[in-house]
Amino acid sequence: MGIMNFLRNRAGAIIVVAIGVAICAFLVSDAVRMGGSFMGGNRNKVGEVAGESIDIQEYQAKVDQNSNNFKQQMGQGSLNAQMTAYVQENTWNQTVAEIILSKETERLGLTVSKNELNDMLTGKNPDPQVVQNFGDPQTGQINRSQLNAFLSNMETQDPSSPIRQQWGNFLVSLRESRLSRKYSNLVKNSVYVTSLEAQDDYQNRNRLAKFDYVSLDYASIPDKDAQPTEQDYKDYYNANKEKFKNREETRSIDYVIFNAEPSKEDTLEAKARIEKLAADFKATKNDSLFVSINSDTKTPISYVHKGQLDPAIDSVAFKSEAGTFIGPVFINGSYKMAKVLDVRMSPDSVKASHILINPATEGGMDKARAKADSIANLIRKGASFAEMAKKFGTDASKDKGGDLGTFGRGAMIPVFEDAVFNGKTGDLKVITTQYGVHVIHIDAQKGASKVAKVAVVDKALVSSNKTQQAAYAKASTFLSQAANAKAFDETAQKQKLNKLSAENITSSQGYVQGLDSPRELIRWAYKADVGDVSEQVFEMDNKYVVAKLTGINEKGYLSVDQVKKQIEPAVINAVKARKLIEKLNNALAGAASINQVAQKVGKTVQPVENVVFANPVLPGVAQENKVIGTVFGMQPGKLSKPIEGDHGVYVVVVKGFTNPAPLTNIVKQKDQMIQSISQRVQGAAFTALRDKADIKDYRVKFF
């Protein structure tokens, strides 16, 4: 049980480490993006990174493994579309990062030797992952006997067994973690700060500016009075071209949703069924079986603390006696009802020990139970529990005398939890679980709070076949009339349907506004041509969707026409800026002070104090980099030329600067800068590696 418990409890951690090493160390979540088109690759490739193919079967195995661990960590029996997309995207990022890291560390000659890996496991300073998995919770130090026992047991496992393979994955994660740290340290150690840079940074953060300004806001000119020309769009585009570099191909669609949400008739019928179910729930003598058969989520019946149930149930349950029935109440799309089975004061945490007897090695459950009873009797007569655990226990806890440490509710399976939390300190019990027969000793109980044991049944309100068929019929009729892009728009307008748009959809995207499960729609979009109308009605839960493809944005620089709608507000402001600059230039002509400028434009002078270059914010306005940058480059007493800012056009006059005390500890200043730069440089390094890697993503063909 020790091996199984370790892998069962730590499988999630193993995967998290693998993903964390590959992703977090290089800030890859924002960096890894698709390259190539939908038609690239072949039927067995899900992608390519730096010329190395990613096989669909290997990738799917990773997705399945990560999905299972995500479900365990989240306590979910299944994953919805958004969770599935999240796992797939993380798996992709993990895979891409592993390939890039492997190629770069190999190029640099970075390795982890067998001796080094062994030292990470059993050396004087084992890896933190090993300490976490084999550490003593009381001391925080590694439990050498437990680790050695585990390694000995692992040597007896078949190399092809799932247990041995999972252990192999853990060793791989250790190796990748060490390689990641080596590469990270190599990059960080390349950072250097000169004394001049340290002085400049100190001045930028501590030199204070005092100035006055006059501003004319862009909002002072109506948009209709600032219509941009095509040249205005081109000028803005050319000045900001790097902002419009598409790292991956994206698609844009228009779509119409036909809702099949439950009707009034569906709701009335559901209420009648729920009332009948509530009567049966009140009368049942087997609450666990009733919940298992009738509840949608089949939540296990266990003791919970206040705040763990839905508020409508929680507020009543903890004030009620056993036997109280609550509901039905309608909560988040489901009818819920609950039966209070018990309310009591219970320990907040328990310290316990156990001896696990394995029925498989004892010849059956009856013999295992008899052996456990005999061991319990010996302990009652004075035998040492710890010695009995070391002699007869079959899981990893035997090496600690059966000590399980201190834990709260939810840490153990329900049967075990009930035994230790509902007993009292000093109790010795024999219980049976799916793991075998346990001899349990309650070592200590700490704290006390009210808990309730509540059986909950929930039934989702769903649409009837009649409602769904009616919505599908409307969608089918629309599809038959919307044969092309023009007909799509005309039919939607004629039927007064709400036409929605989704811009720049990526191939791996797991969401579209208003749609919970859009993957089939997105896959269609990546096979269609601009102007195509979907050849089918897409079904998504209680919604039916018909769509048309409105745009394809290729990888690389987008054109002016493709970004025109996006940049229009900024271009309009640029047109306004020309008008406002002209107005302020006229006011500056012949003006000897900023008060005269303000008087000519009908504005008041705004005073500002204690602004630093490193924080370019105008108090009460917003961040204005150009304005603050101009201030720190001016001589006091001189009027500036009009400055085109983000929120308006400004004229400033510097009244003076307050210099900080001389920098006395330049070494400390350098260290602070190096620490800050080091945190950014790793992301920059990975971005450079990614850009060079030529990443091609074909996942949309499969998922």
Q: Where are the beta strands (DSSP E) in 478-605?
A: 499-505, 538-540, 543-553, 556-557
Q: What is the pLDDT of residue 257?
A: 96
How many Cβ atoms sit within 10 Å of the Cβ of residue 96?
A: 25
Contacts of 568 (CB under 8 A, 6+ apart): 228
The answer to whether residues 537 and 199 touch, using CB atoms and an 8 Å cutoff, is no
Task: Quote the CA–CA distance of 694 and 688 in Å, as a whole number.
Answer: 11
How confident is the model at residue 496, as a pLDDT? 94
Q: Cα dist. 246→10, 36, 447 in Å? A: 39, 12, 57
In angstroms, the CA 307 to CA 562 distance is 50
Under a CB-based contact definition with an 8 Å cutoff, are residues 22 and 93 in contact? yes
Class of the CATH domain delimited by 349-446: alpha beta
Dihedral over Cα of 387, 391, 394, 397: its sign: positive
| 30 DSSP assignment | G
**Residue with the two structure tokens 């006229």:** 586
- Alpha-carbon span 609 to 208, nearest angstrom: 8
| Region at 333 (left for phi over 0; alpha for psi -120 to 50; beta for the rest) | left
Please give the pLDDT value at position 42.
61
The DSSP secondary-structure symbol of 26 reads G
**Are 208-246+561-658 and 349-446 equal in CATH topology?**
yes
DSSP character at residue 137: T
Exposure string for 167-195, b = 16+ CB within 10 A, e = fewer:
beebeebbbbbbbbeebbeebbeeeebee
The predicted structure's pLDDT at residue 28:
36
Cβ 207 vs Cβ 657: under 8 Å: yes
Question: What is the CATH architecture assignment of 264-346?
Answer: Roll (3.10)
CATH for the stretch 208-246+561-658: 3.10.50
Report the candidate in 258, 267, 251 with the shortest Cα–Cα distance to residue 525. Answer: 251
Helix residue ranges per DSSP H, 351-484: 359-362, 365-380, 385-392, 414-421, 465-481
- The token pair at 398 is 């035997």
Per-residue DSSP letter, 330: E
Rounded distance between C-alpha atoms, residue 101 and residue 376, angstroms: 54
Q: Cα-flanking dihedrals φ and ψ of residue 79, to 5°? A: -115, 135
Q: What integer pLDDT is reported at residue 31 of this predicted model?
A: 38
* Residue 111 host element (H or E): none
Asked if 674 contacts 668 with a C-beta cutoff of 8 angstroms, the reply is no
Note the residue count of the chain.
703
Per-10-residue mean pLDDT, the chain, length 703: 38 38 38 41 81 90 86 74 84 90 91 90 86 73 80 80 81 87 89 93 96 96 95 95 89 95 93 95 94 88 88 92 93 93 92 92 90 94 93 88 89 89 94 93 93 94 94 96 94 95 89 88 94 94 94 90 92 97 96 96 96 94 94 96 96 96 94 88 85 87 84
* Per-residue pLDDT, 76: 67
Strand partners, 337: 457
Query: Residue 253 phi/psi, 5° resolution?
Result: -135, 155
Q: β-strands 436-446, 428-433: how paired?
A: antiparallel
Task: Find the angle CA(321)-CA(326)-CA(331) to the nearest 5 degrees.
Answer: 140
- Return the domain boundaries, the chain: 2-189+692-701, 208-246+561-658, 250-261+464-553, 264-346, 349-446
pLDDT number for residue 138? 64
Alpha-carbon span 367 to 374, nearest angstrom? 11
In 284-401, where does DSSP find H-type helix? 287-294, 311-317, 359-362, 365-380, 385-392
Contact 390, 398 (CB under 8 A): yes
Task: Please say whether the structural domain 250-261+464-553 has been given the CATH code 3.30.310.
Answer: no
Please report the pLDDT score of residue 259 as a whole number: 94
